[in-house]
Every structure is written in C-alpha cells, then in structure tokens.
Amino acid sequence: MLLEGIETLLVLAQEGTMSRAGNRLYISQSAVSKRIAKLESTLGKKLISPSGRLIKLTPDALALIENVGPSFSELRGLIFEQQTIEDHSIIKIDCSETLVAGYLGKAFGHYIQKDKNFTITTHHTPVIIENVRSGQATIGCCAGYLAPHHGLHYQHLLDERFRIVAATALQSPPEYLLVNDLKNPSNLYQAAILQKAGITPLMEMDSYTAAAQLALGGVAPALVPESIISALKIDPIYCHHFDFLDQLTRPVHVIYRAKNAASPRVKTIIETIIETIADAVAIAI
C-alpha cells in the first residue's frame, strides 16, 4: 500500500489534478484521493492542498518526491525488466504527439496488421523518459533534448528543423512568436536562441498544432516543427526560414531499457521507428 501511495503521488505531481492522475492510473478520482489520504496517514504528513482546480504539493510532498521518486522509478523499471515479453504481451509505446502526427502514424497503421499487441500513448519528453525508466512504457520516441543521467539506451534519429508559420509574408524575423512551453526542460534551449535573435515569446502553448493554427488564423507568427507542418499540410507560402532557425533544431530519439530491446518484438518495433523516420528525412531532403 505504501508503494501504491507513492506511485499515486508521483503521478499526481506530474498531472496536477485528481482526475488526470486517475486517468493515468486507470482508477477513479475518489480512488486517487483515498490513496493519497492513506499515504498521508501512514507518513503522518500533509502532502497536498487544493489550489483552484489544481492540486498543490506541500513542502513535505516535494521533499518525498525528490528523495524517493528516482529510486522508485528505477525499482519499477528493474521489476519490469524481469517480465518476459511473449507473443501476446502488450508492448507500450510512448511518443511525442508531433512525431506520431508527422512521421509514425501510417507506420504504426501498417505494423498493427502483423502485431496487434501494442498500445500508443502521447506525452511530452520528460514524461516519456520517466515512463520508460519506470517500465510504464517499453519504448519511447522523444522530441527535444533528453535530460542528463536518464540511464536509458537511446538512438539519435534526426535533428528536426523548425519553420516560422505566419498568415502573411515575412521579410525579416518577427518581433514576437507563439512558441511551445519553454518551461518544459526539453525546450529550455529554445529560449536562449530566441533571445539572441531578438524575439520575444508572445504566448507559450502546450501544442505545436494549436500554435500553427493560431498563426494561420492571424494571431501571430508561430515556431513550428516540420513534422507538424507536414501533418497539417501547411502550404509553403505560409512557412518561413531565417538564419537563426539553423540553430533551433530539436533532436529526436528512440529510448528503451537495454534488456527489453533483447526481445525480438521490441527490437522489430524499434527498427520500424528508426526506418520510418529515416525514410521521412530522406524524402524531405
């Protein structure tokens, strides 16, 4: 019960609300609340407090997560490694939404014809890394910089380029841009490059798709990766390149635990992801 409570607290810290944590854990919102209450009772500490629609973590909760979180995730991952991946085992693939939309959708569609026993979820890169480390996902496909010391095996697939999408013609870099969440550790590098180029982030979105659509609607130009430009079939007349964008590529990786990659099924999916993205890059060139 203690480990169950810690797992629930870790997910709640990532998701911010009881309902979203319940969705991640496949339990009800009331079950999430009961698990946290039980953990608070066991530890004799208050761990959460309401903050509008969100949940605020207490200093005791933050200290517990900092001290126990990495070890708990690694323990889960080690346990996961001991499970044999059989022909009927569900292989969990956690991907960046942009990579599914721009590169991998059709490939997974073809792949499921020969192996139906896999599931796909989409998250931001920090969550994908954590899910693979803890065994909640077998394979991760990440866009953006990987956190250091993640302890996983990985392969670098490409450095994806960005374009500025705008509803009107641009003769020079815009003063303001719609960007994706710069607080996301995978995107932090973008802030310094934009500042050096004299560009101010106007709004920080949680979705490159939303940023692109707002740009096309005339709100403001947006920084958009080529995967989303391809997925949305944005006309090249709305896509602009400037020299500073050459520094603003985002790395794409496939990540996994080494022992899991020994499974022929896992190895085949990893190879499919690598080949699909390599083919997409070759076509773009």
* Block mean pLDDT (10 aa), the chain, length 285: 83 87 86 91 90 85 85 73 72 93 90 88 90 89 87 92 95 95 89 94 93 97 94 95 94 91 88 90 66
Closest CA relative to residue 272, chosen from 32, 107, 151:
107
Q: Could you read off the pLDDT of 96-151 as tens digits, one per residue?
A: 999 999 999 989 998 888 888 889 999 999 889 988 988 889 999 999 998 887 88
Cβ(144)–Cβ(259) under 8 Å?
Answer: no
Give pTM, 2 decimals: 0.76
**For strand 118-122 and strand 153-160, is the pairing parallel, antiparallel, or unpaired?**
unpaired
- Residues 202-219 as b/e (b if ≥16 CB within 10 A, e otherwise) read beebeebbebbbbbbeee
Please tell me the distance from the alpha carbon of residue 121 to that of residue 129, in angstroms, as a whole number: 13
